[in-house]
Chain A
């Protein structure tokens, strides 16, 4: 089936992704292993952001955890589409805890040596969307 980049009949448009961030989100959403039609638009012009990335996913969303997106990039907006029209525009919810979605990059953290230890983060600052490792408390840096 050809994906119509201009308009989806059912699916989601992930908009306002920081330019260059689309592939990371593609990977985190595990889209490479899911059977959706996906379009990635890089460096689209944006009045607000200058440049932005966009991902369009065609299909029902039952296999996709969109809340993860708030952890990765809290400026993202989600346009949910049914029957060719946007039925909802929203920002992803920020989960209080995330496990094995993002990894602690602190080389001094116990997660760097202890086997089978889940990488867990908690939301410590909702305004600035700061997630901290539950073990070493280092903030997750998106870039």
Chain B
């Protein structure tokens, strides 16, 4: 039995199998419509989430399985003070697999220690969100046709954005990946990621502050939200925020086959005027999230 707590819990080969299966599901969803008949997915969501929970539930329903669970800590026995360890022991006897989102970092790992069913981390605070990474990789693989030989730009809040950290960790395992990190000084990637992941693995990267000047180099642009509360003062925020907003003018500098990804929800960092640009694939990315989770559920439940 395997749990997925961190994006690197899957080897490159396991990841490749899951992405291949997801691509088969995209091609022929009917073939997989009943493979999880009689199986139950428990969604244990200790904090609200729209996309991730619905995506997990849609994935299990698409596979012919059933779902049960809760969508906030208030509606679970956590409000009575039950530990994660006790909750998962009980849930293990009700369901065949579970997805857990928790505001505390490491909670899904604690669940996995005490669980007798596979545990999937559906997001733990600012720490990990492996199924978002799986979704991102499926989007790239399916729309770009490869996961190697890419120049990947990350733009916006690179300090607190867990999706960025997870995707960097996952992509350094592929050949000839270059990163261009576009952010204000205040929101650069954390030192540990730069030192222990990029420098330690001899990965080519540069840190810049202006999006336009690197646009022509990019094969992928991964946008994130720059939140006002991350800045020390309003003046800095106003000065810097426009530099990290993607609009139609900036898109004119991009390659014709560059892709724009965003984990969503978007606020104002991507202008709606580019939503119809074929290179803007963030809604397609959300759709791929369901296929990625379908493939992951199948692998963990060992169904064919």
Nearest CB in chain B: distance from A105 CB, A:
12
Do A135 and B106 have beta carbons less than 8 Å apart? Answer: yes
Binds A, one of B97-105, B237-245, B274-282: B97-105
A111 to B109, CA, bound (A): 11
Task: Point out which of B84, B105, B110 has the most chain A C-beta atoms below 10 A from its C-beta.
Answer: B105
| Chain A contacts for B125, CB-based, 8 A | 108, 136
Within 8 Å of chain A (Cβ to Cβ): is B196?
yes
Query: Which of B83, B102, B104, B110 has the largest number of chain A CB atoms within 10 A?
Result: B104
Q: Is chain B's binding surface mostly helix, strand, loop or mixed?
A: mixed
> Chain B residues with Cβ under 8 A from A135's Cβ?
105-107, 109-110
Within 8 A of B (CB), among A14-61: none
Option from A112, A124, A137, A139 in Cβ contact (under 8 Å) with B104: A112
B85 is an interface residue with CB less than 8 A from chain A: yes
How far does the alpha carbon of A48 sit from the alpha carbon of B159 in the complex, in Å? 36
Residues of A within 8 A of B29 (CB): none
Q: Which residue from chain B places its CB closest to the CB of A132 in the assembled complex?
A: B192
A115-B83, A135-B110, A136-B127 given; A110·B196 CB < 8 A: no
Q: Which residues from chain A contact B48 at a C-beta distance below 8 Å?
A: none
- Chain B residues 230-267 with CB under 8 Å of chain A are none
List B95-125 residues whose CB lies under 8 Å from chain A.
102-107, 109-110, 124-125
Interchain CA distance A136-B103 in the complex, whole Å: 11
Neighbouring A residues of B102 by C-beta, 8 Å: 110
**Distance (Å) between the CB of A110 and the closest chain B CB?**
4
- Give the A interface residue count (CB, 8 A): 20
Q: Is the CB of A110 within 8 A of B84?
A: yes
Residue A3 is within 8 A (CB to CB) of chain B in the complex: no
Looking at the complex, which one of A108, A110, A111, A114 makes contact with B126 (CB distance below 8 Å)? A108
CB pair A110 B104 closer than 8 Å: yes
Instruction: Determine if A133 and B106 form an interchain contact, defined as CB atoms under 8 angstroms apart.
Output: yes
How far does the Cβ of B59 sit from chain A's closest Cβ, in whole Å? 26
Chain B residues near A111: list those with CB within 8 A.
106
- Least distance between B196 CB and chain A CB atoms (Å): 7
Selected from A114, A124, A134, A138, the residue in CB contact (under 8 A) with B107 is: A114
Cβ-defined contact, A110 with B110, below 8 A:
yes
Residue positions of B touching A, CB distance < 8 A? 83-85, 102-107, 109-110, 124-127, 192, 196
Binding site for B on A (CB under 8 A): 106, 108-117, 124-125, 133-139
15 further interface pairs, Cβ-Cβ under 8 Å (given A111-B106, A114-B107): A108-B126, A108-B127, A109-B105, A110-B102, A112-B104, A113-B104, A116-B83, A133-B106, A134-B109, A135-B105, A135-B109, A136-B125, A137-B127, A138-B105, A139-B192
CB-based closest 3 A-B pairs: A135-B106, A136-B105, A110-B106
